[in-house]
Structures are given as structure tokens and as C-alpha cells.
Amino acid sequence: MRQTVLSHLPTDFAWADRLLFYPCVDSTNTLAKQLAAQGAPHGTAVLADRQTGGRGRMGRSFYSPQGQGIYLSVILRPDCPATALMHLTCAAGVATCNATEAACGLRPGIKWTNDLVYGKQKLGGILTELSVDSSGNVAYAIVGIGLNCSQRQKDFPPELSRIATSLGAVTGKAVDRSRLAAALLVALEEISRSLCISRKPLMDRYRADCITPGCEVSILTADTVRHATALDVDDEGALLVRFADGHTEAICAGEVSIRGMYGYL
């Protein structure tokens, strides 16, 4: 698969020699973190055909069967403090939408903060992880992207079959995973160049893709559930919500998960 992905990349693509492919790993994010800790350079990408321990936010798992999805993690080494990268997951979401549109002709929506959706179903997700040095600067960031590509509805385990779908199922066309993986690398490389410089244009695009504002949401922490109306997403990637008593809050993704009042969306 590595060679086919390379064949879809521009000939002068800066990260081409840093693409690693594995038939099966525990989690591409975990492996990318290990490689980054050993000094792997900016743009190192780990792509796998299958994950046995694919991970999502809040300790959830990400279903990663062989040959049916994209499981990709990229190491970024932006030269900035961690506080300047609050919007990293949003930026990765925009890159994923750009790449999916370019390779598959379909632009997913984004359920705040990190879920790629089509209609009321989940196509995939993003897991970003940061390592910060003692001065508060980013040592490295891992951007992990998982996309369901060729599953039919009946291929998902029962607990996912109502909330998950795949790009193939919604477009009715076979998904060229190599082409999509190449498009993701190109989109991530492009976005990584402006990550610490100009946040607003990226976040404007995120706001256009994000389907959560306007929805009634449940804000879940480990021991509380609060209900509110989602209003907007700010330039740091926080979700602005209004509670029934009229007060508003900016909700940061690290703390909570969002559910629609009546289900996943």
C-alpha cells in the first residue's frame, strides 16, 4: 500500500520519505508517539491496514477492521507553545474534510469537536495528542485520523451499526484508500504550515463544516450531565453554549463529550 499511496502524492511532496506502512498495529497513535519520543521528524506518518487497539477520545475504542478503513497518524513538530494549538483538532478536522472531498467527492460534516459525520452517522474521528516540554512548548503533536471506508451497514458490530457508516456506504462508490490517504497527507502538510500563524481562516472553515451549533446538546463529564443549546465555536475551538437560565459558557473539548438530546447527534 505504501507504494500506491506514494504514487498519488506530488513528486516533490516534502513528507514522502517519512511514510511508514504496517499491516497491523495496536494503535497508529501509540506507535507514532513512540517514534516521536525517539526523535522521528516532523511529517513522519504511520499508516496501518488494521488496528487491534484503535483509540478515540475519552478512552473510547475505534473499530479498525482490516482493509476497510484509513488508520493514519502523523507526527507534527510545530514551533509554538501548547496554548497556541488549542485548535489543532479543529484544524485536523478541516484537513480531513478537504482530503475526503478531494478524494471521494463528499465533504463530511464535523460534530464538535472531532467526529466526522454524514447525516446522523459517524464516518470517523480524530484523536490529537500533545507532548509539551518544561517551557510549555510543543515537543510534538500526534494527529490521528480514522475513517470508515468500505464497511457495509451490516459489517459494523451491533453497538455501532446505527451510529456508524462508511464513505463507501454513503457515496455508493468504492473508496480508493491509497488516494484518500495521500490526500490526507497533502491536506495535513498544507494545514501544518499555517497552524501557528493564522488561526482565523482555518477556524472559519471549521465553523462552516461544524454541524453542532444550533443543536440541543448534553454536556457529559465523568459525573455530570448538563443540557444546553450550542451557539458557536470560538477561535480556540471551544464550543459556546447557552443554558436554560440564560448564562453562556465556552466548553473545552478536553473536559467533555457532547451528545444530542436524543442520541448520538
Binding region for ligand BTN (CB under 6 A) out of 101-109, 124-132, 192-200, 203-211: 124-132
C-alpha 100/C-alpha 96 separation (Å) is 6
Please identify which residue in 15, 62, 63, 140 interacts with ligand BTN, judged by CB under 6 A: 62
Tell whether residue 73 is a contact of ligand BTN (CB under 6 A): yes
Beta carbon of residue 163, minimum distance to ligand BTN (angstroms, whole number): 11
Q: Among residues 239, 260, 261, which one has the least CA distance to residue 249?
A: 239
C-alpha 183/C-alpha 252 separation (Å) is 29
Please identify which residue in 5, 40, 43, 56 interacts with ligand BTN, judged by CB under 6 A: 56
Binding residues for ligand BTN, total number by CB under 6 A: 20
Q: Which of positions 22-41 make contact with ligand BTN (CB under 6 A)?
A: 27-29
Tell whether residue 60 is a contact of ligand BTN (CB under 6 A): yes
Longest Cα–Cα distance of the chain, Å, equals 57
Residue 219: how many other CB atoms lie within 10 Å: 20
Please identify which residue in 54, 93, 108, 237 interacts with ligand BTN, judged by CB under 6 A: 54
Which residue, 61 or 194, has its beta carbon nearer to ligand BTN?
61
Beta carbon of residue 246, minimum distance to ligand BTN (angstroms, whole number): 31
Please identify which residue in 43, 78, 108, 144 interacts with ligand BTN, judged by CB under 6 A: 144
Please identify which residue in 18, 42, 55, 177 interacts with ligand BTN, judged by CB under 6 A: 55
Beta carbon of residue 200, minimum distance to ligand BTN (angstroms, whole number): 25
Which residue, 54 or 78, has its beta carbon nearer to ligand BTN?
54
Tell whether residue 111 is a contact of ligand BTN (CB under 6 A): no
Tell whether residue 146 is a contact of ligand BTN (CB under 6 A): yes
Please identify which residue in 127, 169, 191, 233 interacts with ligand BTN, judged by CB under 6 A: 127
C-alpha 67/C-alpha 101 separation (Å) is 21
Beta carbon of residue 58, minimum distance to ligand BTN (angstroms, whole number): 7
Q: What is the 3-state secondary structure (H, E, C) of the chain?
A: CHHHHHHCCCCCCCCHHHEEEECCECCHHHHHHHHHHCCCCCCCEEEECCECCCECHHHCECCCCCCCEEEEEEEECCCCEHHHHCCHHHHHHHHHHHHHHHHHCCCCEEECCCEEEECCEEEEEEEEEEEECCCCEEEEEEEEEEEECCCCHHHCCCCCCCCECCHHHHHCCCCCHHHHHHHHHHHHHHHHHHCCCCCHHHHHHHHHHECCCCCEEEEECCCCEEEEEEEEECCCCCEEEECCCCCEEEECHHHCEEEECCECC
Beta carbon of residue 129, minimum distance to ligand BTN (angstroms, whole number): 9
Which residue, 81 or 120, has its beta carbon nearer to ligand BTN?
120
- Footprint of ligand BTN (CB under 6 A): 27-29, 51, 54-57, 60, 62, 71-73, 114, 125-127, 144-146
